[in-house]
Amino acid sequence: MPFARRRGGLDHRDGRHLRAPDGLRRQGDIGDCVGRVRFDDVMYAPRYDVTVTRSARAVEIDRGEVVDCGTVHTAPAVASVRLVSIDGVDPAVAVLVPHGGWAGLYVAEGVERSAWPTALGEAVRPLRPG
Instruction: Compute the C-alpha angle 52/96/56, nearest 5°.
Output: 40
**Domain housing 63:** 34-126
DSSP 48-76: TTEEE-TT--EEEEEEEEEE-SS-TTTPP
Helix (H), strand (E) at residue 119: helix 118-123
Polymer length of the chain: 130
Note whether residue 2 is domain-resident: no
| Total tally of structural domains belonging to the chain | 1
Q: Identify the pLDDT of residue 120.
A: 95
Q: Tell me: the pLDDT tens digits for 81-110?
A: 999 999 999 999 999 999 899 999 999 999
Q: Tell me: the pLDDT tens digits for 10-59?
A: 333 343 444 433 443 333 344 567 889 999 999 999 998 999 987 788 88
Would you put residue 24 in left (φ > 0), alpha (ψ -120 to 50) or beta? alpha
Question: Which residue type, as a one-letter code, is found at position 13?
Answer: R
Note whether residue 121 is domain-resident: yes
pLDDT at 60 over 50: yes
Note whether residue 7 is domain-resident: no
Note whether residue 89 is domain-resident: yes
Note whether residue 42 is domain-resident: yes
pTM of the entire predicted model: 0.74
Angstrom distance (rounded) from CA 124 to CA 104: 11
Listed residue (64, 55, 42, 43) closest to 125, CA to CA: 55
